[in-house]
């Protein structure tokens, strides 16, 4: 269970990581450019997170 990876496995993992980065990079760049133009919707982001935090606090208090 505590074995280290062989050299070829490390090279294969590095190559797969590089392929994943190169595959997703154009989409990430386009998404970044489009997000600069989009209107900001912080209440739509913070309201659900606040509701979840309040729900978790309620569950803790009930125990």
* 52 pLDDT higher than 60: yes
The pLDDT of residue 54: 98
- Sign, CA dihedral 46-48-54-59, equals negative
What's the CA gap between 42 and 46, in Å, rounded? 6
Tens-digit pLDDT profile for residues 11-47: 999 999 999 999 999 898 898 888 888 788 888 889 9
Specify the pTM. 0.46
**pLDDT value at position 3?**
79
Q: What is the DSSP string of the chain?
A: --PPPPHHHHHHHHHHHHHHHHHHHHHHHHHHHHHHHSPP-HHHHHHHHHHHHHHHHHHHHH-
More confident: 32 or 52? 52
């Amino acid at each position: 269970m505590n074995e280290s990876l062989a050299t070829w496995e490390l090279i294969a993992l590095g190559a797969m990581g590089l392929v994943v980065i190169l595959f997703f990079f154009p989409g990430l760049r386009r998404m970044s450019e489009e997000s600069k133009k989009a209107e900001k919707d912080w209440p739509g982001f913070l309201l659900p997170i606040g509701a979840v935090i309040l729900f978790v606090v309620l569950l803790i208090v009930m125990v």
